[in-house]
Amino acid sequence: MYVCSNCGKKIDDIGKFVTCPFCGNKIFRKERPPVAKKMKAV
Ligand SMILES: [Zn+2]
């Protein structure tokens, strides 16, 4: 899962997209799947 840094659209497979298909931006950031962190112990 990648997120366009410009328009924020989520793209599952960026393999075939060199640029964002929505806005043409070329910069993406990887979005991690939601993982519940249990680091903070109360
Ligand atoms: Zn975009």
Residue 25 included in any domain: yes
- Ligand 1 centroid to Cα of residue 12, in Å, is 13
Residue 9 included in any domain: yes
- How high is the pLDDT of residue 1? 85
Residue 17 included in any domain: yes
- Ligand 1 centroid to Cα of residue 16, in Å, is 15
Residue ranges making up the domain that contains 12: 1-35
Residue 40 included in any domain: no
Residue 12 included in any domain: yes
Q: Which helix (H) or strand (E) holds 31?
A: none
- Ligand 1 centroid to Cα of residue 24, in Å, is 6
Residue 42 included in any domain: no
**Using CA atoms, how far apart are residues 21 and 25, in angstroms rounded to an integer?**
8
Residue 34 CB neighbour total at 10 angstroms: 5
**What's the number of domains the chain is made of?**
1
Residue 23 included in any domain: yes
- How high is the pLDDT of residue 24? 93
- Ligand 1 centroid to Cα of residue 23, in Å, is 4
Residue 1 included in any domain: yes
Q: What is the pLDDT along the chain (42 residues), one digit of tens a residue?
A: 889 999 999 988 767 768 898 999 999 998 877 777 777 766
- The strand pairing partners of 3, in sequence order, are 10, 29
